[in-house]
Each structure stands twice: as structure tokens, then as C-alpha cells.
Amino acid sequence: MRIPAIAVPLLLCLTSCALFKSAPPPPPPRPLYAGRTATLDITNGIRVAAAVELPRGFTPDPDSPPRWLAQGTVVGVAGTRDRKTVVLGFGGDQLSDMTVLVGDFGPGAPTGHILAAAPNPDGMEIATAVAPADAHRLDLMVIDTISGGKGHSVASFDGDYRVAGLDWLDRSTIAIVVYPSAQATLNATADSVASGLYAVGISGVGSVTHLDHIHCRLGRLSFSPNRRFAVSVGDREAPPAIIDMHSQACAELRVPAPLRMLGWAPDSSALLYAARGGNAGVFRYTVATGQRTLIAVSSAAAAYASDGTIIALGNGRLSWKSIARDPDTQVKAEIALLNPLTAVVTINSLGFQTPPAMFALSSMVLSPASDSAAIDTFVPTPDGLLRELIDYSYPARRAFMLAAGHASGPLVMSWSDDGGALAIVDGDAARAMLTVLIPPR
């Protein structure tokens, strides 16, 4: 089921007045729908295209957003069930048909445990890195999203490995970062273990290329749109680094690991990341010069629009000194629009206040197709933290409350390919849901 973008009139605002004072809302029409995700109340009038209860005992992976697969006809949700890693697929009318796309000792991993999984760019295939139960080997497999089956092996690595990263360079090339497991490291010399980044071609007879001139220790990778550069977000054993895939050059970014990667500029010239610690905030890193530019203080929510404009949540008057002096002060929540070429900044107020620490907990997911940003943010109340899910339309410069409720557990979300539908997964093993919303346009 491809879910179309459907315009819905604005029904409610964040407060009793307009989100942006310059544009008061029209009188609300009759509500069309009122519903609920696993943890949030959905705003009246926001269309719900699908609301699916996930199987009892299934725990969604808090680090894996729902994936739009098979050219938008299936939504994949990763997690664990009965202590096994699985990716469930939901399709058909209102996503009511469920299947196991890949799972330990099942599709995509018939012989063992899944260490990592990644769909290709159009979601028609899924790559899995599998540790067979009866062999000291790592198998890289590919399974068709629609036809299913067991999948087929495209490469194998003899030995016991952990997978630091798995992604697709393009529809026919898989990038995998492997290192020996802790036990394998104890039982082998450094020269006897092949580790690092591999490019595995799956077309024709296939190929396995070890990019052995990259001497940085790598973690999970985020590739630039032109696929020339990649950022390694790092882990406990690998500091964050940036890689030039053409020259196989790499350089450490000198920020704490793991890096929170927020997005690449459309022309691959720069990237956005969120830093933690005393200098928490959003930064832009320019690839050609290595220059870092502060975008937002005490924030972790930012993204690039399709024209290269940076959209960031925060407050323009904040500084690290003012936060250290009064960390609990409440400030206006704002959306800043920054043009990197002209340095012109436009500020839109969201109409509510929250402490800076809540900006640092927030997240933003943007669709380059519609230039809509879904913002997951928080506001303290006497009854605890209130979670607010907001849709911000960059073309219209307007925001809408999609859902709100008591903050309870993780929430992950992603846009459909056309940017018209937002898939949300929230809840826990007791009760979790996949909900697809159609924000107003």
C-alpha cells in the first residue's frame, strides 16, 4: 500500500493561539478523526492511515526507525521477539498483513543469528550479516522483500566477527565493516585477522573488495548523497571519523563517540551532527575545509532541507554559559532557518517554552521530498514530561501538533518516500504500535 500525501485542514495549534503570530489559524472545522498511538493522543483532524498493534512480546529496536520497503508498499519494523532478532513487515490494506521479513534462524538468516540488517535504496532487498550457529564464519546474505524465502549468500568471512556497520553504497554494492570478536582477538594475531571496510558487489559473479588503505578504525557509516564521503559515528573502540571513499583517506573528528549523525547537505559538501557533554549542540562540518560551525546550543534536532537550508530546533539567545548559570530556565522553542551561503537566519516561534535540556533530548526527521520535518520534543509539566510530536512544513513555514502525551519509552519515526506519510513506532513489549499519520498540507 503506497500511502498518498493528502492535504488536511489545520484543526488544532500548539496553544490556543497560532503557532506563528503572523498567521492566525482559521476556525477549526469539524474533527475528522481522533485516535491514539501506543503512548500518544493524536490531534483531532490528523488522518490516521494505519494503526497496527505489534505482536505481544515484541520489543521495537529504539535505534531503528520504521523502514518503508518494496517501493513504499511495506513498512518494516525491527526489534526482538522471544529473544530473537526479527524485522516484521506490514503491508496490504491499512498495513494489516504482517510477515517476518528476516529473523534469527529464519528468513535471511536460516543458519544463525542476525548481527545487522539493512534494506537497499528502494527497499526491494534486505542485506543481513549472519553468524551461523555451527561454524566460525560470518555470512553476508541478501533476501528479496516481496518473494521472501531463505535468502542467498553473497560473501563469507572465515572467523568470529562483530559487525560495526552495514549499509548499501548503491543497489548492487553492500558496504560492511567487520572486526574480530573479543574472543577471536584473544586467539589470533593482528596479522591473521582481516578487518575493516569491505565493498561487496552482488551483480553477476560478485566481488569482495577490502578497502585496506583506510587506517581509521570504523563504526557505523553514514554515506553522503554522492557516495564519495562517509562518516563513521564511532563506538567504544572507534572515535568518529570522516572518510573519502575515492582516496581511502580518513581523519578523526575529535568529538566524543558515538556521534549523533543528523544529515548530509544535498550537495555532499557538509554534514550536521549533534555533540554531547559540556558543549552540547548541533554543528555543521564542512568537508573541504574541516571547519566546524555551531548551529544550535543544547540541541540535537536539525536537518537539511532540499535546497540546502538548515532547519534547527532551539533558542537563538542560548549560550553554554547561560545554561550553566541557570540550567532550569524556560526559554521559547524556536525553529531557525539558516542559509549556509548567505548566513541569513530566519526565526519562527513554536509558541511554547521548555528548558534547554529538553532541546537536547529532542529529535528531528525531515523528508527531502516534501521538506516536512517531524519533531519529537518534550515539555516539563507538574505531572511529568509531556511529549509533543510536531510537524513543521518548511515550504509553508507553519507547524502543526500531530500528537501529544505523557512521555513513556522510546519513539522512532520515518517519512514515506514521497514525504506524505509519517510512520511512528512507540511502546514496549507490553504494548507497542505502528501508526501511520498523514500530516496536513
Mean pLDDT of 59-77: 96
Provide the residue type at 132 as one letter.
P
Are the beta carbons of 414 and 75 closer than 8 angstroms?
Answer: no
Q: Percentage of residues in the chain with pLDDT exceeding 70?
A: 90
Among candidates 275, 351, 314, 243, which has minimal Cα distance to 25? 351
Provide the residue type at 126 as one letter.
I
The pLDDT assigned to 34 comes to: 58
The pLDDT assigned to 420 comes to: 97
Mean pLDDT of 65-79: 97
Report whether pLDDT(252) > 70. yes
Are the beta carbons of 199 and 167 closer than 8 angstroms?
Answer: no
Q: What is the pLDDT of residues 393-407, one digit of tens each?
A: 999 999 999 999 999
Which of 11-25, 53-67, 339-353 is predicted least confidently? 11-25
Mean pLDDT of 247-269: 94
Cβ-proximal residues to 329 (8 Å cutoff; 6+ apart), any chain: 322, 355, 356
For the entire predicted model, the pTM comes to 0.89
Report whether pLDDT(31) > 50. no
**pLDDT band at residue 367 under the 50/70/90 scheme:** very high
The pLDDT assigned to 192 comes to: 43
The pLDDT assigned to 187 comes to: 65
Are the beta carbons of 36 and 46 closer than 8 angstroms?
Answer: no
**Euclidean distance between CA atoms 77 and 64, whole angstroms:** 8
Query: What average pLDDT is seen over the chain?
Result: 90
Q: What is the pLDDT of residues 169-199, one digit of tens each?
A: 999 999 999 999 877 666 654 444 589 999 9
Are the beta carbons of 354 and 378 closer than 8 angstroms?
Answer: yes
The pLDDT assigned to 391 comes to: 97
**Euclidean distance between CA atoms 120 and 107, whole angstroms:** 16
DSSP 320: H
The pLDDT assigned to 7 comes to: 36
Q: Which residues pair with 386 in a beta bridge?
A: 379, 406
**Domains identified in the chain and CATH numbers:** 41-438 (2.130.10.10)
**pLDDT band at residue 86 under the 50/70/90 scheme:** very high
Which stretch of DSSP H or E encloses residue 418?
Answer: none
Distance of CA 127 to the CA centre of its chain: 18
Q: What is the pLDDT of residues 312-334, one digit of tens each?
A: 999 999 999 999 899 889 999 99
